[in-house]
Structure 1
Amino acid sequence: MKTLLGAVLLTVLVTQGYSLTCHSCNSLTGNCALNTTIECNRTTHSTCRSISVNTLIGNENSTYLLSGCGGCFGLVTFNSGLISHYVHTTCCSSNLCNDDVKPDIENSTLNGLECHACYAVTELGCNNTRVTVKCKGQQDRCIHASGHSRGLDPRTFVMKGCASDFLCRNPTGLGLFNYVPSTAFYCCKDGMCNLESRNFTQSTTPGPTTTSTSGPTQLSTSLSIALPLVFLRLVL
């Protein structure tokens, strides 16, 4: 009997040691009620997390909050003027510690950096617009990326704008929004340094400054990346 009781107690202690309880939420409204939980295996997920998502496409602003088990990654933020994305994760390691009920608000303070901005189908279309965007918060790099999008309406894309350092060091972060920067990718620190395309490489040096003309084809907001894809790729 003592042996059986000892085995039961050991099982309980081991289970408690490797189990983590987190709040669970997948909110389409930007608000979460703390009435659903999920049990996480610490050997797989050692922390609870909350993911704040904010996307601006034209004049349409969407905000989400996702909570559950998982690890943290750096701040992913990008702004091309027409399209702006912000994804921020916070993590904690105690039971029910991810008790956020509203998503984070992105820092909107201008930081003095200004970049070429564009979201188009081709490089020529992008260069023809010659629009700029003022960077804010932790968007401390200018970015230039091109490749193809995935989803129901795959097509080529070219985008320029402001970006966070984490995104510049991790180009696959664009996959959160279904962008695959397969043709060109670079970031640079100086203002207006992201005009022309480069081969796919990571860089923090100023970009080339030659010009190109003609042939604009701007993407409409209806063809922009669908926001629910964020939820599919950030599996809780």
Structure 2
Amino acid sequence: MKIQLAAVLLTVLVTQGFSLTCHDCNSLRGNCALNTTIECNRTIHSTCRSISVNTVIGASESNYLISGCGGCFGIVTFNSGLISHYVHTTCCSSNLCNDDVKPDIENSTLNGLECYSCYAVTEIGCNATTDKVKCRGQQDRCIHTSGHSTGVDPRTFVMKGCASDFLCRNPGALGLFRYEASAGFYCCKDGLCNLESRNFTRSTTPGPSTTSTASPSQLSSPLIMAVLLVFLRLVL
């Protein structure tokens, strides 16, 4: 009997030690009721996660919240003037600690950097404009990228604008916004340095280190779907 009781107690302790309870939510309305939880295996996900997504297309804006198990990749932000995307993840390691139920507000403080901006389907169309956009918050790089979209209506794209250092160091993060930089990807730190198309490179200047514990490829499936749903909500 004592041996059986010890075995039960050991099982409970081991299970508790390797499990983590997190709030689980997917909300297109930008709020979570915190009435659903999920059990995570600590050997796979050691933290609870909250993800705030903000998408602006023209005059329309939408927020999306995701919470559950997973790692963090910090802030991914891009602004072409017409279209801007902002994704922020926060993580914590105790049970039900991801109770942040409000959309994260992007830092709107201008940081002094200015970049050429455009969104077009061809390089010629993008080069036909010399529009500019003022960068804000963690958008400390100018970006010039081209490739194809991976959404419900695939097409080529060329984008210029402001971007965060994490996006510049991880071109695959464009997948969060349904883009694949298959033709070109260039980031630079000086003002208005993104006028011309460059070869496929990552950021050419060093930036601040990141505390990211996960890459977008490790967590993109639910998040990509979330951004796609936000996009459809804005354009339909």
Q: Deviations over 1:46-72 (max 9, x none)?
A: 000100000000111011111100000
Say whether the 8 Å CA contact 1:177–1:230 is kept in structure 2. Answer: no
Say whether the 8 Å CA contact 1:178–1:229 is kept in structure 2. Answer: no
In structure 1, give the amino acid aligned to 2:127: N
Return the alpha-carbon distance in structure 2 between the equivalents of residues 137 and 227 of structure 1: 21
In structure 1, give the amino acid aligned to 2:196: E
The structure that is helix-richer by fraction is: 2
In structure 1, give the amino acid aligned to 2:185: F
User: What SS does structure 1 have at the residue aligned with 2:142?
Assistant: strand
For structure 2, the 5+ residue unaligned runs are 206-224, 232-236
Q: Give the deviation of 1:130 after TM superposition.
A: 1.2
Say whether the 8 Å CA contact 2:145–2:185 is kept in structure 1. Answer: yes
User: What SS does structure 2 have at the residue aligned with 1:160?
Assistant: strand
Q: Which has the larger radius of gyration?
A: 1
Aligned match of 2:48 = 48
Aligned match of 2:221 = none
Return the alpha-carbon distance in structure 2 between the equivalents of residues 183 and 124 of structure 1: 14
Q: Deviations over 1:2-29 (max 9, x none)?
A: 1111111110000000010001110110
In structure 1, give the amino acid aligned to 2:39: E
Equivalent pairs counted in the alignment come to 212
Q: Give the deviation of 1:101 after TM superposition.
A: 1.1
Aligned match of 2:217 = none
User: What SS does structure 2 have at the residue aligned with 1:5?
Assistant: helix
CA spacing shift, 1:230–1:18, aligned 2, 3 Å: farther
Return the alpha-carbon distance in structure 2 between the equivalents of residues 185 and 152 of structure 1: 23
Return the alpha-carbon distance in structure 2 between the equivalents of residues 97 and 65 of structure 1: 15
Cα RMSD, aligned residues only:
1.6
In structure 1, give the amino acid aligned to 2:195: L
Say whether the 8 Å CA contact 2:53–2:227 is kept in structure 1. Answer: no
Q: Deviations over 1:117-149 (max 9, x none)?
A: 000000110011211000000000000100011
User: What SS does structure 2 have at the residue aligned with 1:157?
Assistant: strand
Report matched runs for 1:87-236 at 5 Å: 87-204=87-204, 227-228=227-228
Return the alpha-carbon distance in structure 1 between the equivalents of residues 204 and 229 of structure 2: 29
For structure 1, the 5+ residue unaligned runs are 206-224, 232-236
Return the alpha-carbon distance in structure 2 between the equivalents of residues 227 and 92 of structure 1: 23
Q: Deviations over 1:154-180 (max 9, x none)?
A: 110000000000000001000001100
User: What SS does structure 2 have at the residue aligned with 1:129?
Assistant: coil
Q: Deviations over 1:183-221 (max 9, x none)?
A: 11010000000011112111325xxxxxxxxxxxxxxxx
In structure 2, give the amino acid aligned to 1:131: D
Quick check: 195-204 or 133-142, which moved more? 195-204
Return the alpha-carbon distance in structure 1 between the equivalents of residues 13 and 69 of structure 2: 21
Say whether the 8 Å CA contact 1:176–1:229 is kept in structure 2. Answer: no
Return the alpha-carbon distance in structure 2 between the equivalents of residues 116 and 14 of structure 1: 55
Identical columns (%)? 83
Aligned match of 2:78 = 78
**Do structure 1's residue 16 and structure 2's residue 16 form an aligned pair?**
yes
Q: Give every structure 1 segment of 4 or more consecutive aligned residues whose post-TM-superposition deviation is greater than 3 Å.
A: none
